[in-house]
Structure 1
Amino acid sequence: MADEERLQRIKAGAFLASVAGISALVGFSATLSAAKKSDPKYFNKGLHSSVELADAGAILALRALGWGTFYAVAGTSCLCYGIWKLSGAKDLKDFRMKVGNMLPVLPKNNPPQSRTEFSGLNDLLTYLAEDYGKKPVKDN
């Protein structure tokens, strides 16, 4: 059973990593295509280094993307590691219990006090914009 759970976690981690990587690639590609559409002459001029330019614009953009990704991953990792060490937890179960004791308890909503089924996104958004938070009128 433990091997199946470990395999499932590895698959889930690989899936999340691939989704994040593809999202970053698509976002960067969309930004480059938008820049090319807005000014193709200077975009093409920036692809190749010339005497006027020390580095090509696309190379600078890729370098900035690489350093930005490095700083984001390193900063988030340091933040998570710092929180872990400050909590004094020895393992993930211990960390979960310590954080669970510090956070407020969520109230139970059984039975639900508001709508839980919606016909579509428009119905949900209409409910959130107009009806959510209103106290139901009780009949005597």
Structure 2
Amino acid sequence: MNNKNKTSVSTLNHTTQQNEKFDVFKNVMFMSSVAGAAVVFGFGLTAARARKMDPAMFKSRLKGESGEVLESPSSLGLRALGWGSLFACSGFGFMIFGVCKILGVKSVEEFKLKFQSVAPQIKRNPDDSTSFDEITKEVLDEKT
């Protein structure tokens, strides 16, 4: 193989690796946006239900002992949601980071191989498995 072919093969491999990384990035961004949209939708739906159930309480202000106006319940809830989300996401991220550092893995494939070497294998016997059709048939037979 001459030098020109080696260069074109290495360039092709590099381009393929870049495309794979970009695909992974797109997948992560898509899943993150779906999760973010679900959080925003869920919180909005909950806030709308609370407002519909008790509009006066939703708009009321809390007063402290000296009479000063404190935060409204909705802003207090938003602040709690923000801090809770921050703690949950960062805590989970630190936990995953720690597990990966302890196990010495850098990818999901390495984690899978490491976990398979540590955890016992589950032996599956295909003859013992029950299909969904068999379960459905048993349930319907019991009802009649």
Q: When the two structures are superposed, what TM-score results if normalisation uses the length of structure 1?
A: 0.70
2:136 is equivalent to residue 127 of structure 1: yes
How many residues align? The count is: 122
1:48-101: CA deviations, max 9, x gaps? 99x664112111111111100100011101111111122133x22433321121
Cα pair distance change 1:43/1:128, threshold 3 Å = farther
Cα pair distance change 1:86/1:20, threshold 3 Å = same
* Aligned partner (choices 36, 47, 53) of residue 38 of structure 1: 53
Q: Which runs of 5+ in 1 are unaligned?
A: 119-123, 132-140
SS in 2 for 1:60: helix
Letter matched to residue 96 of structure 2: C
Distance 1:129 1:30 in 2: 40
Q: Which has the larger radius of gyration?
A: 2
- Point out the structure with the larger helix share: 2
Letter matched to residue 70 of structure 1: L
Does the CA-based 8 Å contact 2:51-2:58 persist in structure 1? yes
SS in 2 for 1:65: helix
Identity %: 27
Distance 2:43 2:100 in 1: 32
Query: How large is the Cα RMSD of the aligned pairs?
Result: 3.2
Distance 1:74 1:129 in 2: 46
Does the CA-based 8 Å contact 2:59-2:72 persist in structure 1? no
Distance 2:97 2:137 in 1: 37
* Aligned partner (choices 34, 42, 67) of residue 83 of structure 2: 67
Displaced runs of 4 or more, over 2 A: 93-96, 103-116, 126-131
Q: When the two structures are superposed, what TM-score results if normalisation uses the length of structure 2?
A: 0.68
Q: Which runs of 5+ in 2 are unaligned?
A: 1-15
